[in-house]
Amino acid sequence: MKIGKSYNLWGWVFISLALIALTLFILYPIIYSLYLSTFSTRGFLKTFVGFGNYKRLFQDRNFLLSLKNISIIFVVQIPIMLFLALIYAFLLNDPKLKFKGFFRTALFLPAVTSLVAYTILFKMMFSTDGLVNNILLAIGIIKQPIRWLLDPFWAKVTLIIAMTWRWTGYNMMFYLAGLQNIPNEIYEAAEIDGANRRVQFFKITIPLLKPIILFTTIMSTIGTLQLFDEPMNLAAGVVTGSSVGPGNSLLTPSVYIYNVCFKYVPNFGYASAISYVIVLIAAILSLIQFKVVGERR
Amino acid sequence: MKKVILMLLIISMLIGLFGVVNAAKKVTIWCWDPNFNVAIMEEAASRYQKLHPDVEFEVVSMAKADVEQKLNTILASGVKRGLPEIVLIEDYNAQKYLQSYPGSFADLTREFNYKEFAPYKVKLMTLNGKVYGVPFDSGVAGWFYRRDYFEQAGINPEDLKNITWDEFIEIGKIVKEKTGKYMISGDPYDGGLMRILLHSAGTWYFDEKGNPNIANNEVLKDALKIYKELFASGIMKETSGWNEWVASFNNGEVASVVTGVWIIGSIKAEKSQTGKWGVLPVPRLDLPGAVNASNLGGSSWYVLNNSENKDIAIDFLREIYAKDIDFYQKILIERGAFGTWLPAQNGYAYRAEDPFFGNQRIFLDFSEWLKKIPSVDFGLFTYEADGAIMGVMPDVYNGNLTIDEALKLAEEQFKNTLGF
């Protein structure tokens, strides 16, 4: 008993540093920003507005537009990316595959590049007279250059392509790890039963990877809600950088928070309210995903 | 062992955070653009050090967004440490900082003779009758054009001195037809040209009281019409981002550039085009009160009230930026920085002929146009208004909305952003 107590005490001592750091740098900002979100601020001038910021949010077209923008990414980009990642993982997991190390590295490599660097690279490649248009024109797929970053629709397409390039390999790694846990016997048995690769993929791989698919979906959802680097850099403007992408087509909540804090008249209270709503949305979406994917367990 | 190292690391970081001890007479300056503001400030610092060898300077070079971010967080948190003595603020943002962080910037009304500075610059940094900054560079706008292309198209630049934007578009069509070159280039969603148009008519997004003036703003309607026509007529090459824009005139794709004087450095970077460029006054809107002179950008120096060596910083700015004529000549020649301290404009550099511009005395012209720039109050919300207007531009370009409808929507959007 006595030993247990002193162990306990030492345990607390050892974790105290981390705990203090956690309280100071994570817990305190979380609580303070909740408090701050009840004020409308201009610099250090504060006015108490109670729930005013939250009411204002739902009439703020820019905020609603930013939600609309990310929900398009949410609906289009995440499924494409995760499905691609699954297929890559499935192919890479094939024991007969040659040059496995090369393919694995090649697919994972984008995930280690810096967000800003790759976005700037994509911005260059997708400029109107950039590499991508030149190639497409040369092989005759298009007659006119596509206005990638000058048209609201194509700007989103560019963003989706860029993000898919960057994040597919990252998600693939989770699936690859998950596939190691699926015993090969199952596939062998299926093969004997006459199931081809497609059937194996849909009937064995996907169901058995469900928990990992859930995990990657939630991570991607949260990642999308916090999307910042890519739109910010793709939209980096000329002289004034007036809108985030053509017609604010790349405006995301995080970029909006940044603008409210640093580009517009600084309103940290309102920005806190936005971030709280984002947290709430992330929580709700994660909960829904848990329910949908996990129902049969 | 790892924990100990980690602890030591954290402790040393904390010491680093709180233990910054400034040297006795050290002036810290935050600004952006290593080839422009930073280099100019270093030049100014070395000049001051010759007079006062005991003063140390630290010119910190950051991205513009980083300067704004750091300034915002540090002022909002209310800490008194870690402040620079001097900070560079873009003119469009001046009132925003002055009104959001009252008392944070030193009142310089009695420290400088503001009659010696360009009046429109002084107005931008005046709040309740007090002046808070030292006017620095001007963004006086010019219409840079390619002499060779215009000649090829059979256009005499002498006839273009006081034209309207409608005439500009017509000439652009001739240039496009005869030379195959675009008249101008730009990002369809950039508000730079919009600001030039508005400023040339002495109007902004707000009225005198600071209320939004968007939906029924005749100047804005005209400006939107010109934006639409520039792209619809095919004389404007669409670019995205700064680099593409600069490339479009460096590689000779466009016949002219309408922007602030600070672009000279980028134009002259293409040495092979020496002698091929000239400068004209910007076109004007076809409206009463509109002039052939405007402004885009420009920034000024501000002294932070709670900084340690505030008095030295003020003395430094006065000694160099309000006294040293030679300094202004040097930064004009080396950096293309067009100062707004008027006595400097009698110096030799402002009269010099520039072979790059076909021996035109361009800065003499710019000084003339500078005096004509209407005084405009940018208010606090320029970026919000820009964002709202550029947000509706896709629908203006594709004709989904008429200009009146678009501006009405933009005003609503703007009010949303502000939470009116």
Q: How far apart are CA B390 and CA A43, in angstroms?
A: 26
pLDDT at B168: 96
The token pair at A191 is 């093969």
The token pair at B420 is 């009116």
pLDDT at A240: 61
The answer to whether residue B355 is domain-embedded is: no
The DSSP bridge partners found for residue B141 are: B260
My answer on whether B62 and B176 are in the same domain is no
pLDDT at A291: 85
Is B76 in contact with A123 (Cβ distance < 8 A)?
A: no
pLDDT at B230: 95
pLDDT at A242: 72
Q: How far apart are CA B378 and CA B299, in angstroms?
A: 13
pLDDT at A97: 86
pLDDT above 60 (res A223): yes
Are B222 and B285 in contact, with CB atoms under 8 Å apart? yes
- C-alpha dihedral sign at B409, B411, B412, B413: positive
DSSP H or E stretch at residue A206: helix A206-208
- Mean pLDDT per 10-residue interval, chain B, length 420 residues: 62 55 78 92 96 94 90 88 92 93 94 93 93 94 96 94 95 96 92 93 90 93 95 92 88 95 91 95 94 94 94 96 95 90 92 93 93 90 89 91 94 82
Q: How far apart are CA A280 and CA B6, in angstroms?
A: 34
The token pair at B8 is 């030591």
DSSP conformation letters of B291-307 = -S--B---EEEEEBTT-
My answer on whether B387 and B272 are in the same domain is yes
The token pair at B357 is 């511009």
pLDDT at A24: 93
Q: Which domains does chain A have, with CATH numbers?
A: 2-36 (no CATH), 58-294 (1.10.3720.10)
My answer on whether B233 and B262 are in the same domain is yes
DSSP H or E stretch at residue A155: helix A152-180
A residues 64..93 contacting B (CB < 8 A):
65
Question: What 8-state DSSP symbol labels residue B43?
Answer: H
Are B392 and A152 in contact, with CB atoms under 8 Å apart? no
Q: What pTM, to 2 d.p., does this model score?
A: 0.87
My answer on whether B184 and B307 are in the same domain is no
Q: Give the number of residues written for chain A.
A: 297
pLDDT at B240: 82
Among A4-13, A70-79, B78-87, B280-289, which stretch is predicted with the lowest mean pLDDT?
A: A4-13
Are B160 and B183 in contact, with CB atoms under 8 Å apart? no
Q: How far apart are CA B102 and CA A45, in angstroms?
A: 9
Q: What was the ipTM of the complex prediction?
A: 0.84
Q: How far apart are CA B1 and CA B7, in angstroms?
A: 10
Task: Please report, as a single letter, which amino acid is at residue A270.
Answer: Y
My answer on whether B225 and B278 are in the same domain is yes
Q: How far apart are CA B262 and CA B351, in angstroms?
A: 17
pLDDT at A61: 85
Instruction: Give how many domains chain B has, as a whole number.
Output: 2
Comparing CA positions, the residue from B215, B388, B413 lying closest to residue A60 is: B413
The token pair at A32 is 């303070």
Q: Is B244 on the interface with A (CB under 8 A)?
A: yes
Residue A11 — pLDDT band, cuts 50, 70, 90?
Answer: confident
My answer on whether B56 and B179 are in the same domain is no
Q: How far apart are CA B391 and CA B124, in angstroms?
A: 26
pLDDT at B3: 63
Task: Please report, as a single letter, which amino acid is at residue B298.
Answer: G
The answer to whether residue B358 is domain-embedded is: no
How many angstroms from the chain centroid is the CA of residue A217? 9
The answer to whether residue B34 is domain-embedded is: yes
Three-class DSSP category at B339: strand
The answer to whether residue B108 is domain-embedded is: yes
The token pair at A290 is 């848990």
Comparing CA positions, the residue from B118, B116, B114, B144 lying closest to residue B370 is: B118
Nearest C-alpha in B relative to A249:
B391
My answer on whether B274 and B384 are in the same domain is yes
Is B386 in contact with A265 (Cβ distance < 8 A)?
A: no
Q: Is B103 on the interface with A (CB under 8 A)?
A: no
My answer on whether B328 and B221 are in the same domain is no
> What is the span of the domain harbouring residue B112?
25-138+298-346
Is A238 in contact with B416 (Cβ distance < 8 A)?
A: no
pLDDT tens column, A231-287: 988 887 655 667 888 888 999 999 999 999 988 889 999 999 999 999 999 999 989
My answer on whether B174 and B204 are in the same domain is yes
The answer to whether residue B270 is domain-embedded is: yes
My answer on whether B290 and B332 are in the same domain is no
The minimum CA-CA distance between A148 and chain B, rounded to whole Å, is 9
Are B373 and B294 in contact, with CB atoms under 8 Å apart? yes
Q: Is A59 on the interface with B (CB under 8 A)?
A: yes
DSSP conformation letters of B186-217 = E-TT--HHHHHHHHHTT--SB-TTS-B--TT-
pLDDT at A3: 59
Q: Is A203 on the interface with B (CB under 8 A)?
A: no
Overall average pLDDT of the A7-30 stretch? 90
C-beta neighbour count of A33 within 10 angstroms: 17
The answer to whether residue B5 is domain-embedded is: no
pLDDT at B335: 87
My answer on whether B121 and B169 are in the same domain is no
Overall average pLDDT of the A157-170 stretch? 95
Q: What is the CATH number of the domain that holds B381?
A: 3.40.190.10
Three-class DSSP category at B85: coil
Q: Is A243 on the interface with B (CB under 8 A)?
A: yes
My answer on whether B235 and B251 are in the same domain is yes
Phi/psi of residue B189, nearest 5 degrees = -115, 25
